[in-house]
Structure 1
Amino acid sequence: MANVVKPNAHTLTTAEIAALALSLAHMGSGPQALTARQGLRHAFEHLQLDDHVVATTLATLTTPLTAEAASRARVVADAITGQLVVRLHYRDAADRVTVREVDPVTCLVHRDHWYLVGMCRLRHGIRAFRFDRLIAVEPTTTPARPHVAERFLPFQRRRRAA
């Protein structure tokens, strides 16, 4: 297959990057996954990687997840695609375990960690759940409420209403 270069290619949107990243996350570490990750690295070649946060995030994004985390990522991806609620067994930073039902919105990578971003029904708000703190992810048949991914980036400061 010949290499094709489009001179006026547009920059990927946040939602496109999240979808690509999640798709790669649950591919494991086989030959197709390696080729796909190399393709994603090429898509980011235009980025200035002198920014430590961007460089670390890109490295995390293109490194295969463990088999256990990849399995959880598959359940999350299916729930996002099927617009279904997931039940998370989650261990927070203080080592407390909770079970939460979440409307999954998207997944993203920030620095060294993968996150599931979703509307937490327990806390009644948007939350980011680190994949390495997910003990289990269970699919449900409950329809998730629709949420736009671009509104729920957890690392952005929110403007407070006056």
Structure 2
Amino acid sequence: MATVIRHNGSLTTAELAALALSLAHLGAGPQSVTARRGLRHALDHIELDDDVIATTLSTLTTPLSPDVARRARAVAQAITSRLVVRIHYLDAAGNLSVRDVEPVTCLVHREHWYLAGWCRMRRGIRAFRFDRIISVESTDIPARPHLPERFLPFQRRSKTAA
């Protein structure tokens, strides 16, 4: 097997989100094992002095359950096609709602995968945990283009000087 020369640069938040989305596409197939092993190996060289980052990277390299992977693939397809998805979502309090969402990206934070997008019901940016999404329905409704960087709700914000 060929050895690849490694670069000491770090991955950006957007690059990690893109990798997460790519791995979600792979589900539990044979390529996903190799992809996750490669990502885990690449991440072994990053110094993790933050528990949140360490937990997030562990979640990123753990396979999704078949049901969650299926929903993630449906969302990923909608992101690629720039179409609104209709999700049935069970919130933390156990309330079920139906939401039309303009999906922007998928991301991992701590031990959970999320769909980040523009919720038409709440008229704002929302993050939906994949394990709480009961179903995803594709629609033929075009979604507006959004910049993924504005939809990463868990990134650290730098404090502005007053």
Give the TM-score, by structure 1 length. Answer: 0.90
CA distance in 2, matches of 1:79, 1:97: 22
For residues 43 and 139 of structure 1, what CA distance do their matches in structure 2 show? Answer: 34
Structure 1 stretches of 4+ moved >3 Å: 156-159
Aligned AA (1:90): Y
Q: State the secondary structure of the residue aligned to 1:105.
A: strand
Following the alignment from structure 2 to structure 1, what is the Cα–Cα distance between the partners of residues 29 and 97? 34
Question: Letter of the aligned partner of 1:62 in structure 2?
Answer: T
CA contact (8 A) 1:26 1:65 kept: no
Quick one: structure 1 residues 157 and 49, their matched pair in 2 at CA, closer, same or farther if it must change by over 3 Å?
closer
- Residue pairs, 1:1-162, within 5 angstroms: 1-6=1-6, 8=7, 10-156=9-155
The alpha carbon displacement at 1:157 in A equals 6.9
Q: Distance in 1 between matches of 2:80 and 2:29?
A: 23
Q: Structure 1 residues 37 and 156 mapped into 2: Cα distance closer, same or farther (>3 Å)?
A: closer
- Structure 2 unmatched runs, 5+: none
Gaps of 5+ in 1: none
Give the aligned length: 158
TM norm structure 2: 0.90
SS in 2 for 1:49: coil
Distance 1:108 1:87, change over 3 A: same
Among all aligned residue pairs of Structure 1 and Structure 2, give the percentage whose two residues are the same amino acid. 68
Please, which moves more after superposition, 23-32 or 138-147? Answer: 23-32
Aligned counterparts of 2:147 and 2:42: Cα–Cα separation in 1:
24
Q: How far does the alpha carbon of each residue in 1:34-53 deviate from its partner, in whole angstroms, 9 at most, with x for none?
A: 11001111232332224211
CA contact (8 A) 2:13 2:155 kept: no
Tell me the C-alpha RMSD between the 2 structures. Answer: 1.8
- Report the 3-state secondary structure (helix = DSSP H, G, I; strand = E; otherwise coil) of the residue aligned with 1:26: helix
Moved more, 33-42 or 10-19: 10-19
Q: CA deviation at 1:16?
A: 2.1
2:109 maps to a residue whose letter is H
Can you list the C-alpha shifts for 1:44-81, whole angstroms capped at 9, x where unaligned? 23322242111111111000011000000010000011
Q: Is the 8 A contact 1:104 1:117 kept in 2?
A: yes
Q: Does the 8 Å CA contact 1:26/1:73 hold for their aligned counterparts?
A: yes
Q: Distance in 1 between matches of 2:15 and 2:155?
A: 18
- Residue type of the partner of 2:30? P
